Structure 1
Amino acid sequence: MKPVLRARAAALPFALAAAYPGLCAHAQTEGSAAPATLSPVTVTEDRGVATPLVLPSTAGSRLELTPFETPASVAIVPGELIRALGTTSVIDAKTLAPGMSSANSPGNGGNVLSARGFTGVNSVKQLYNGLELSNAGGVVSFPFDPWNVERIEALYGPASVLYGAGAIGGAVNVVSKRPDPAQASHEIGLGVGSDNARHEAFSSTGPMGNGLSYRVDLSHRSADNWVDRGASDTLAASASLRYDLSPQLNFILAADYGRQKPMHYLGTPVFNGAPVPGTETLNYNIADSDLFFQDQWTTLDTEWKPSADVTVHNTLYRLTHNRRYRDATVFTYLPATASVRRSSYRDISYSRQTQEGVNTYARFQGRIAGMKNAFLAGFQLERSFYNRFDNVRGGTSTVDALHPVPGLYRDAWRGESIPMYYLDLDRVGVFFENHLTLSQRWSVVAGLRSDSYRTEREDRQLRNTTRGKVSGTSGSLGVVFNPVPEVALYGQIATAQDPVTSLASIGANQQGFGLSQGRQIEFGLKQSLWGGRFDWTLAAYHLVKKDLLTANLANPTLQEQVGQQSSRGIEASASVRLGAWRVEVNGTVLDPKFDDFQAQVGSGTQQLAGKVPMTVPKRSANLSAFWDFAPRWTARTALQYVGQRFVNNTNTASLPSYTVVQAGVNWRAMPGMTLDLRVENLFDKRYATQGSEVQWILGRPRTVWLTGTHAF
């Protein structure tokens, strides 16, 4: 870090303490999540709602570069901003970042994002503390609760050079809080809301003596919700133990557990481009529907610093994921009879995924020809096992549109879950990074990664085994120019690969396809003014992905890799802190489209060049404002805008744009105790978060919350 920026980073806690007395007072009682041996970067809990450009992050590099030093678009959403807004889910917290929009539904685990024109867990990586659960079936369900989130970091554009295949659109990493070896702190959170919503939470961290420190986080949420038979219940638990064997060597053993029973609500029927009147709060799912996700993560992190210039980091991990679905999934309105036809009965049980591996890298500080240089080399070995039980979709039943009788699964369909296949995915990856400081004004950052994936799939119905192998190499090269210490201009070219589908659950007929190739050119500007009280960023990019999986023109029943998809756009963000006011604003404007895509439509094929990929909004924006209108009192409002999204690649049906407004007031009743009243969806806007041509998943209507936290 340059001397001017280092000095400003060191002074940042004091500046934020003056600018955010309430938030920083609350943060200081909670304690820092960063290890004591990393004192130059332990500003995380004192950030207030700012996203300083001068603090090191892991989003764009493992070299601990600051966003100012990174030649890419990087966004950081601090945990304090998430909690200050009362955000209740990780997926909603992720969409606070510029250009991130959700396309979540119960079928994909409720955790799918769109970024820079690309959607889904095979194009936008989602990680937890730098690790990713291979998304068998395209499902990512963890993490989901923001109670223990220290920050969320987003890297825009190709991120395969860091994480491997499946990151053309970007990568989002949720960083959890870790043990505080310096001081003990504890926190209790309670909340009640509309529709019998409740939240109970507890956190505790501190030293235990003899080099040991701990952290425990528990969060339980439940609600009846706004639709019939829409009850939900979640539990998130995290525990970690840190052992500082010496100032140079420490270990962190962490265990995370998540259990979700989401709403059994799969959508509202639509007709003529809008929900059928009177159906908005009705639930058309069956009476014995079931929806369940369970995740368990165990990690052991080791950090060794044999010298001031060398750091070795190793992570051993084992992740498990269970899921259960039993429901009717498609609801079609029949206007002639004012009824709803339910179809595609689904039964998935005993589907379990286990993933284990090791991720190791070493970082070296030194000089090349008198110039400061940081170099990193590492490898990742991983194995994933997926045991799939499923059914053959079928079954049909019809219910009255306004007075539906739920019925049971076996009333309409006898096809229940059977063992389908077992898939073994092996991965070997090696990666390198380098940051060369040419002068006080110029620096160069380069990265390279190569991954090899092997799949072995046992079909338990056909009694045969198929094998596949794909590999890919990604690279990035960027330049940062600082004309003055407070301004960074950058340019970067980067490549990436996406799989045609999730490699952890790939079909036998797709194992022969290679990885789809992507390339991006990006230019941007980052500036920090007024002693860090005003930060703003601007990025422009052009991103292209080739080798899409499409139908063969001569035989639509066959697939081949041809075609191209692209996106170009502008992203911007600004953070202003002036006296009693703090304002955060960001947004994106992009032009996503298929350049060449022959897709199967009905019984034939259609050229979709010029069409917009489904679920991708061309416009999105966030605005949040905080006003300390009196001692110990803060009022706030937040606005989120999401543009129109198409529900098919032919662009014949769409979800309308929407703007949702939130408002709240926070009272710091006494040191360590805070009460918060907020109203979500203040104007009771009806909007759709996801959908198809026949049904939409509607967003939450107006909801009132009263929460309290006590830190001691």
Structure 2
Amino acid sequence: MLALAMGLGGPARAQQAADDLQPVDVITVTAAKTRSLEQFTPTASRLGLSARETPATLDTIDSDEMIGRGFATVEQAADSLPGVTSGGSPGDSSSFSMRGFTGDQITVLHNGLYLGPSNMTNRPQNTFNLESVEILKGPASVLYGQGAIGGVVNIVNKGPSFGTPEVNALATFGSFGTTNIGVGGTTHFGDKVAVRLDVSRTGTDGYVHDAGADSTNATFSLVWRPTETVEIQVMVDYLQDNPSTYFGTPLVPTSFATKPLSGVISSTNGLTLDERMRYVNYNVTDASIHSEQTWPQILVKWSPNENLTVENVTYYFHADRHWIDAETYQFNTATKLIDRDRFFVIHKQDLVGDQGSVAYKGDLFTLPNKVVVGFDYNHLDFNRIRGFPDGDSVDPFAPSPGVFGALTGKQSPTKWDDASVFFEDAIDVTPALKLVTGGRYDVLDLDRKNYNFDGSYSAATSFTRTYRSGTWRVGAVYNVTDTITPYVSFTTGQDPVGSNIFLVNAGENFGLSSSHQVEVGVKANTPDHRADATLAVYDILRQNILTQTALDVLTNIGSQRSKGVEVSGNLRVTDHWTVSANAAYTDSRYGYFIDTNTGLNDSGNQPPDIPRWTGNLWTSVSDIGGLPLEVGGGVRYVGARYANAANTVRLDSYYLVDLYASYRLSAGLMLTGRINNLFDKAYAQWADIYYPSEVMLGAPRSAEVGIVAKF
């Protein structure tokens, strides 16, 4: 489908959809299925390589799987893939962890385009409008520029089709007043124009008191083929959301917690969670979190012959965001109250960019070869207004709602101009051996200004700098047989050393962090394609790190190393019984690290929110008793993680069990039902290092019923 990312498969996917002229006879939504290693995977390469031909780990979940498993958000979908966890807080509303890294070391793309640091720009995303969520593991700066040390999450929208017109609809209703509604469809006008429109809305009252959330997403896309060699794609994406205002449950001394919440956290400094505080919201009554963003794009593709393709995408992104909250909840041992802060921040972001490339397929020294060369340019205007009004103290069990207070803040405008050139090449050294290489060179001019509360210019914290980075990768893929393909790759990456390129100040005016990864793996399937499996072993080293360890404290970390193993597989046991499973082991540790905030030696410690073990198992049985009935479920395991760099608070491991059933009422109408967290497990999902006095608890047991339609 439409990806609208220059060189990332937008036109290829639109063409694939256009060529699919099969009518929609029976709705096909299932929670588990086998995949094809011959499938085109644009996130990992601009060369149109299949998963088998790519010397990297790429995991994908498509629209049918997301609907079948009941994943209403990108975070839920990503969590089902090998070695991925997600969490965050409303201040960092969508954060991922993979291969030992979190936060801005995971780049989040939309249709292959970078919009800024993920913890500033990423929003909770409805899945109804999406064709797929694709995850590329390991450093990806050679493809996408700054960041992307642990990997890339690419969110791909649905696109128009020149096949049979269709309409899709979804409506689910569940516990805590949760609703998920979507409607969309595609049609075409002859063989020249195809259009698609998708609109979705999710909403919930929340399982924490007075912490509801909602999100509305609308996407319009059009493909126009004025000639046989020219294709023009236009897309406009609109997103408006009001995330939950639940920032976490405060940690309290074990001597205070008369009803400790067992099996959720452990600590070496006498802290725990009190079950009486599990569903309490400590935010102020007029707390407000809101974002609204609009993103038009236009892509032009010219293919004068089958060997040459020229593409260019131009885009503009505008977003307004604000947070007006009490965000930090610190238990006061003297007063036995919860001390609350006040914090507000307002964003205005404008990003305009252009990306172009030329791809050529031919022979190089008589060997089959594919090459793409291109450029990428974007200009950013980002303004941030923030302030810290006085806080208050409230009762731990019945907090007075209170109000926020006056908004008096200071401004921090940031501008950048980022220009780069890149190339990728894939050459068939022999019929069985493919060599894949790539390189990228970036020049980023940054202008960072800060102003005081009285409006005066802060020269001490403002600065300008030009960052230059060069990254590259080389990989080899070898077909031992038609069904067994081992690979090896070496990839480099670079990213700003500070906490966030939008927020960097003069005290973070340093060169770039550097990283590299060695990965070895194998991809295989059975000759009848009833089973497939992938295995990857990797080693990532990141050096020259400056990280934020408290709200206004930065600490240098010499290095961080991450080694691990990931395995996944799908098996169609019978024509009606499918099993999918994956597991990952990650050993991630800091190098030399003295925390200037606490004075502690954290060298050798495990970074926060990084589990050593994760695993997922999904199974699905269809046509039970000859009925149009499918029943299945999933088990998810997340190992123990730490809430801080000192490793003094541990988030305990947990299992979650989900069950679902679907019944096809007619060819295009399906009734669904599911239970999430069947055993009502209490667990800590995430610990935000910016709020060290609290942790984010996961959702309790919930149920939902719904209707899925396609006609």
Scaled by the length of structure 2, the TM-score of the pair is: 0.89
Instruction: Kindly state the Cα deviation for residue 141 of structure 1 after the two structures are TM-superposed.
Output: 2.8
The match for 1:182 among 136, 140, 163 is: 163
Structure 2 CA distance for aligned equivalents of residues 214 and 206 of structure 1: 6
Would you say 1:436 and 2:434 are equivalent positions? Answer: no
The match for 1:68 among 46, 49, 52 is: 52
Contact 1:551–1:598 (Cα < 8 Å) also in 2: no
Q: How many residues align?
A: 665
1:587-666 aligned within 5 A: 587-602=583-598, 604=599, 606-628=600-622, 629-630=624-625, 631-666=627-662
Tell me the equivalent position of 1:459: 450
The match for 2:412 among 417, 421, 433 is: 421
Tell me the equivalent position of 2:477: 480
Tell me the equivalent position of 1:690: 686
1:268-667 aligned within 5 A: 268-271=249-252, 272=254, 273=265, 274-334=272-332, 338-343=336-341, 345-349=342-346, 351-391=347-387, 393=388, 395-410=390-405, 414=406, 416-461=407-452, 462-463=456-457, 464=459, 466-501=463-498, 504-510=501-507, 512-549=509-546, 563-579=558-574, 580-602=576-598, 604=599, 606-628=600-622, 629-630=624-625, 631-667=627-663
Partner secondary structure for residue 427 of structure 1: strand
Instruction: Kindly state the Cα deviation for residue 360 of structure 1 after the two structures are TM-superposed.
Output: 1.0
Structure 2 CA distance for aligned equivalents of residues 533 and 357 of structure 1: 43
Partner secondary structure for residue 532 of structure 1: coil
Structure 1 CA distance for aligned equivalents of residues 37 and 558 of structure 2: 38
Q: Which range is displaced more, 82-91 or 43-52?
A: 43-52
Structure 1 CA distance for aligned equivalents of residues 195 and 312 of structure 2: 20
Corresponding letter in the other structure for 2:108: Q
Instruction: Describe the shift of the 1:429–1:374 C-alpha distance in structure 2 as closer, same or farther (beyond 3 A).
Output: same
Corresponding letter in the other structure for 2:105: S
Scaled by the length of structure 1, the TM-score of the pair is: 0.89
Instruction: Kindly state the Cα deviation for residue 127 of structure 1 after the two structures are TM-superposed.
Output: 0.5
Structure 1 CA distance for aligned equivalents of residues 531 and 21 of structure 2: 21
Instruction: Describe the shift of the 1:488–1:551 C-alpha distance in structure 2 as closer, same or farther (beyond 3 A).
Output: closer
1:649-701 deviation line (CA, Å, top 9, x unaligned):
11111211121111010011101001100011111111111225421211111
Contact 1:675–1:708 (Cα < 8 Å) also in 2: yes
Contact 2:19–2:163 (Cα < 8 Å) also in 1: no
Instruction: Describe the shift of the 1:595–1:47 C-alpha distance in structure 2 as closer, same or farther (beyond 3 A).
Output: farther
Contact 2:498–2:547 (Cα < 8 Å) also in 1: no
Percent identity at matched positions? 28
Corresponding letter in the other structure for 1:88: A
Partner secondary structure for residue 35 of structure 1: helix
Instruction: Kindly state the Cα deviation for residue 51 of structure 1 after the two structures are TM-superposed.
Output: 2.8
Structure 2 CA distance for aligned equivalents of residues 655 and 165 of structure 1: 30
Instruction: List 4+ stretches of structure 1 deviating above 4 A.
Output: 37-48, 334-338, 557-562
Contact 2:643–2:651 (Cα < 8 Å) also in 1: yes
Structure 2 CA distance for aligned equivalents of residues 221 and 111 of structure 1: 16
Q: Which range is displaced more, 379-388 or 290-299?
A: 290-299
Tell me the equivalent position of 2:193: 212
Structure 2 CA distance for aligned equivalents of residues 314 and 502 of structure 1: 32
Structure 1 CA distance for aligned equivalents of residues 248 and 659 of structure 2: 27
Instruction: Kindly state the Cα deviation for residue 394 of structure 1 after the two structures are TM-superposed.
Output: 5.2
Instruction: Kindly state the Cα deviation for residue 166 of structure 1 after the two structures are TM-superposed.
Output: 0.2
Question: In angstroms, what is the RMSD of aligned CA positions?
Answer: 2.4
Tell me the equivalent position of 1:116: 99
The answer for unaligned runs of 5 or more in structure 1 is 1-31
Contact 2:215–2:243 (Cα < 8 Å) also in 1: yes
Would you say 1:245 and 2:226 are equivalent positions? Answer: yes
Contact 1:389–1:417 (Cα < 8 Å) also in 2: no
Tell me the equivalent position of 1:4: none
Partner secondary structure for residue 178 of structure 1: coil
Contact 2:553–2:597 (Cα < 8 Å) also in 1: no
Structure 2 CA distance for aligned equivalents of residues 659 and 518 of structure 1: 33
Structure 2 CA distance for aligned equivalents of residues 634 and 161 of structure 1: 43
Instruction: Kindly state the Cα deviation for residue 39 of structure 1 after the two structures are TM-superposed.
Output: 6.8
Partner secondary structure for residue 63 of structure 1: coil
Structure 1 CA distance for aligned equivalents of residues 14 and 547 of structure 2: 49
Instruction: Describe the shift of the 1:37–1:400 C-alpha distance in structure 2 as closer, same or farther (beyond 3 A).
Output: closer
The answer for unaligned runs of 5 or more in structure 2 is 1-10, 255-264, 266-271
Tell me the equivalent position of 1:3: none
Tell me the equivalent position of 1:19: none
Structure 2 CA distance for aligned equivalents of residues 292 and 38 of structure 1: 35
Contact 1:662–1:679 (Cα < 8 Å) also in 2: yes
Corresponding letter in the other structure for 1:703: S
Instruction: Describe the shift of the 1:618–1:175 C-alpha distance in structure 2 as closer, same or farther (beyond 3 A).
Output: same
Instruction: Kindly state the Cα deviation for residue 262 of structure 1 after the two structures are TM-superposed.
Output: 1.3
